[in-house]
């Protein structure tokens, strides 16, 4: 399968590097990383170090349309990703989102209809330096088969043959919400408290706060007719925090590096969607507001 990964940072590069073992892959990312890959190849660090030679570019110019386009940009860059790719891909190109947050799949389906697939992944990856990505865990990838089961099976097959464990789900919206709920419990609190994921579990007060955030997310999901596990989300959130205890969340890294966060697509989205149904989600709204204030301060913005 001819695969393009748009937004090839840490996750996109790790995934693309693994998929290149059995597929034709091109990575589209930012210049320092792309230049390093074109000079020396993509080095994947983890259980086994290997350097992979593949095509990398900073735009789609001159590239053939792929069979599968995987979007791994930040959620706030999804509209720009669509704009950059809409005149490049063919009518037969499938598009898969493996992004964090809520709202990405809806944008892709407004563009590509039934050719747009939702997905989630727990693959852990970090950009060590331009051209070098460390994979902390292959994790599990889930692809939605709600609109085109055969198309989803073809994508899953390309992942599996490359050693990426992948399953199909007829409730991919629920899977996306489940991951977003876990992220909404962990990421903003680590960014506000400036701690690693596992440190959240040390405080009874923070644990109660996490449980409250989960309950709000569950309530809003049900109001929007999204099926997620009732009552067990806090157990999942705690399990993820425990399993990634030594990790620094992407949101905390964004604050420390003076970058925009994805808070608008996690707690901020839950807050807006609660209001749309006449509900209240005060904890999510408060966390979104605090992180936005930290973000503005760290980036030297007003408001």
Tell which wins on pLDDT, 105 or 49: 105
pLDDT at 303 over 70: no
Mean pLDDT of 267-288: 98
**What's the confidence (pLDDT) of residue 3?**
98
**Residue 69, CA atoms < 13 Å, CB-side half-sphere:** 30
Query: Which of 119, 141, 169 delimits the end of a domain?
Result: 169
> Is 96 in the same domain as 154?
yes
| Residue 231 resides in a domain | yes
| Residue 142 resides in a domain | yes
**What's the confidence (pLDDT) of residue 48?**
72
Domain count, the chain: 2
| Residue 263 resides in a domain | yes
> Is 17 in the same domain as 141?
yes
> Is 45 in the same domain as 153?
yes
Strands 68-71, 42-45: pairing kind: unpaired
Estimate to the nearest angstrom the gap between the alpha carbon of 39 and the chain centroid.
28
Query: Which of 116, 151, 169 delimits the end of a domain?
Result: 169
> Is 68 in the same domain as 23?
yes
Could you say which DSSP state residue 64 is in?
P
Mean pLDDT of 202-230: 96
Catalytic residues: 179
**What's the confidence (pLDDT) of residue 238?**
97
**What's the confidence (pLDDT) of residue 301?**
65
> Is 121 in the same domain as 185?
no
User: Looking at residue 267, which CATH number applies to its domain?
Assistant: 1.10.1040.10
> Is 132 in the same domain as 184?
no
Domain coverage including residue 8: 2-169
pLDDT at 302 over 80: no
Tell which wins on pLDDT, 232 or 94: 94
- Residue pair 27/92 in contact (Cβ under 8 Å)? The answer is no
Q: Is 201 helix (H, G, I), strand (E, B) or coil?
A: helix
> Is 185 in the same domain as 157?
no
| Residue 20 resides in a domain | yes
| Residue 303 resides in a domain | no
pLDDT digits (tens, 9 = 90+) for 133-155: 999 999 999 999 999 999 999 99
User: Looking at residue 31, which CATH number applies to its domain?
Assistant: 3.40.50.720
Query: Which of 110, 139, 169 delimits the end of a domain?
Result: 169
């Amino acid at each position: 399968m001819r695969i393009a990964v748009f937004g090839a940072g840490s996750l996109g590069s790790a995934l693309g590097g693994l998929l290149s073992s059995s597929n034709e892959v091109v990575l589209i990312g930012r210049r320092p990383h792309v230049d390093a890959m074109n000079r020396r190849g993509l080095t994947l660090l983890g259980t086994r170090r290997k350097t992979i030679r593949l095509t990398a570019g900073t735009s789609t110019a001159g590239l053939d349309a792929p069979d599968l386009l995987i979007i791994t940009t930040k959620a706030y860059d999804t509209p720009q990703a669509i704009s950059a790719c809409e005149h490049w891909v063919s009518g037969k190109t499938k598009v898969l989102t493996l992004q964090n947050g809520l709202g990405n799949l809806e944008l892709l389906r407004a563009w590509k209809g039934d050719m747009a697939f939702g997905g989630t992944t727990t693959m852990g990856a970090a950009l060590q330096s331009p051209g070098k990505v460390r994979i902390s865990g292959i994790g599990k990838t889930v692809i939605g088969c709600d609109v085109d089961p055969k198309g989803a099976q073809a994508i899953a097959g390309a992942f599996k043959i490359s050693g990426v464990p992948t399953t199909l789900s007829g409730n991919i919206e629920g899977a996306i919400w489940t991951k977003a709920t876990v992220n909404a419990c962990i990421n903003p609190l680590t960014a506000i408290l400036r701690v690693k994921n596992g440190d959240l579990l040390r405080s009874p007060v923070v644990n109660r706060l996490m449980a409250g955030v989960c309950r709000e997310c569950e309530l809003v999901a049900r109001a929007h007719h999204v099926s997620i596990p009732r009552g067990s989300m806090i157990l999942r959130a705690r399990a993820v925090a425990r399993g990634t205890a030594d990790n620094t969340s992407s949101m905390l890294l964004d604050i420390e590096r003076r970058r925009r966060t994805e808070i608008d697509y996690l707690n901020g989205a839950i807050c807006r969607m609660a209001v749309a149904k006449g509900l209240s989600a005060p904890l999510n709204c408060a966390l979104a507001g605090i992180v936005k204030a930290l973000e503005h301060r760290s980036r030297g913005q007003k408001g």
